[in-house]
Structure 1
Amino acid sequence: HPGRVRSEAALAQIAGTCPIPASSGNTVRHRLNRGGDRRLNWALNTVVLTRMRTDPATRDYVARRTAEGKTGREIRRCLKRYTTRQIYRTLNAAAAPDRPASAA
């Protein structure tokens, strides 16, 4: 439901794709969020794995991030968050004609 969330970050929290800081010392890392809607997270994971296998732009992104020293898990976490942002924009674009125009 597009009206359920107010921002991309809220959808990421619901989906369990928002990063959780897990830094230690000089190492800045984020860990995977184990909360949220697990079915939605599973669906996003399926989308990301498929894109990693078939989408040339995603494959280039994975190669670039691997060269930077990111692990496969970190790359998937970033791609899940990116996919969540795309879904949020798509939901809002689809719901935009139904919304009344606000007075300026």
Structure 2
Amino acid sequence: MTRFTSSTKLARYTGAAPIPVYSSDKERYRLHRGGNRRLNSVLYTTSIVQQRFHPGARALLARHEPAKGARGTRRILKRHLIDVIHRAMTQDRATRQHHIIQHQLAA
């Protein structure tokens, strides 16, 4: 957890962070092809499952679909999942630290 102090760093590591691409006067973003490909594959599978079964994910995709297209919305969903994962890892680390301190105080 100490490697990823922010969700942005975790997204970059997994390859889910968009990279700016400059061509003539257009500014657009594409998916980073580097990073940990296994984690990226897990994120892709998770985003497909979320897209099929989770109403919140469907609402997010429906909101961004007209502007971003199918691939762009999947990219947005993967980035959102990274934020959720990072938040859960941070909370778990804080809870673990709390239990360690309580154990040391009791001893």
Alignment TM-score > 0.5, same fold: yes
Shift of 1:25: 4.1
**Going by fraction, where is helix more abundant, 1 or 2?**
2
**Larger Rg over CA atoms:** 2
Given candidates 83, 86, 90, the residue that maps to 1:85 is 83
Q: Does 1:55 align with 2:71?
A: no
| Unaligned runs of at least 5 residues, structure 1 | none
Given candidates 91, 94, 97, the residue that maps to 2:95 is 97
Q: Equivalents in 1 of 2:52, 2:27: separation in Å? A: 28
Letter in 2 for 1:86: V
Task: Write out the 4+ residue segments of structure 1 that deviate beyond 2 Å after TM superposition.
Answer: 23-28, 97-101
Which residue number in structure 2 is paired with residue 21 of structure 1? 20
* Mean Cα deviation higher: 51-60 or 84-93: 51-60
When normalised by structure 2's length, the TM-score is 0.82
Shift of 1:45: 0.5
Which residue number in structure 2 is paired with residue 38 of structure 1? 37
Q: Equivalents in 1 of 2:54, 2:26: separation in Å? A: 31
Q: Percent identity?
A: 36
**Going by fraction, where is strand more abundant, 1 or 2?**
2
Which residue number in structure 2 is paired with residue 8 of structure 1? 7
| Unaligned runs of at least 5 residues, structure 2 | 102-107
Q: Equivalents in 2 of 1:22, 1:41: separation in Å? A: 20
Aligned-CA RMSD value: 1.7
Shift of 1:7: 1.2
Question: Paired residues, what number?
Answer: 99
Which residue number in structure 2 is paired with residue 71 of structure 1? 69
When normalised by structure 1's length, the TM-score is 0.84
Letter in 2 for 1:66: E
1:6-52 alpha-carbon deviations (Å, 9 max, x no partner): 11111111111111001434433210111100000000111101111
